[in-house]
Amino acid sequence: MQTAGQTAQDFAARAYVLVRQLLPPQDRERPVQHALERSLTGTMKADRLVTGTPAAYADPHMEALLEHLLPSIEEATALELFPTYSYFRVYKRGDVLTRHTDRMSCEISVTVSLGGMAPAPWPIWIEGPQGATAVSMGPGDGAIYRGIECAHWRGPFDGDSAVQVFLHYVDKNGPHAEWKFDKRKRLGTIPCSVRIADNRHCTLHPDGLLEAAPGEKISLYPIEAAVWRHIEAGSAVPRIIEEVMREFSLSRCEAEVYVTQFVAFGEKENLLFA
């Protein structure tokens, strides 16, 4: 079994390292069930790297995992890190991950196998300074690599499903530190509370039109308008999620996604503060 020092040495030499049971069984049961449930909700989108496969940026549960594993990734790399963002996919039979390198907010990338149904581990190929290596991971294992520098890819998947989460970080003392939180105000976890920004005097009209400032009007979907009204009423976010579930006949998974996405939009537009 590798020590933390040996893991960090391997990472420094090869630009990647495999950590067995980075996420033990008791910590991955909830994320994998959430991922599978969300893949059935229609709230995910395919991306350019894997055609037709559901993927999601900054899912609230995966963002919590990004934060939870930060100390372990820092120990494994001997680096001080800022988290940037999470991303996950639920792969299907025949999927191929196109060879690519990552963007600036993925200086230190981690791919974690959450589980699935396959006859054998599905390796990820990582091309470091010593050449390309096929890295096989069982459930809970994580491959840590320099995502900007190391090209990585996967061949055709010979299984029914594979849930993979990608966690991204940047070196606090490196050239990409400005990408902390992927240049968001915070990670996309579910906040306990959220309020309307102190310097905004907004009016929500009955038709769902939000007048945020003179001449600034934003048309909200019915769910978004409901969330805004609950925020105006001072409701805590867990209560808002419960109310949205009831009002729109949504699963908890769907309600969490819609509420956190609207809060993220409000923060970006300086309408809300979490």
Over residues 216-235, the pLDDT tens digits come to 899 999 999 999 999 999 99
Residue 249: burial class (beta carbons within 10 Å; 0-12, 13-18, 19+):
exposed
What is the distance between the alpha carbons of residues 65 and 78, in angstroms, rounded to a whole number? 20
DSSP state at residue 248? H
pLDDT tier, 4 (very low <50, low <70, confident <90, very high otherwise): low
Q: What is the architecture, at CATH level 2, of domain 195-273?
A: Orthogonal Bundle (1.10)
For 111-127, how does the pLDDT look when each residue is reduced to its tens digit (9 = 90+)? 999 998 999 999 999 99
Is it true that 4-183 and 195-273 share their CATH fold? Answer: no
For residue 146, the surrounding DSSP H or E stretch is: none
With pLDDT > 90 as the criterion, what percentage of the chain qualifies?
91
Quote the pLDDT of residue 255: 97
Domain ranges in the chain are 4-183, 195-273
Range 4-183 classified under CATH 3.40.190.10: no
Q: Compute the average pLDDT of residues 156-166.
A: 96
Parallel, antiparallel, or unpaired: how do β-strands 142-145 and 108-117 relate? antiparallel
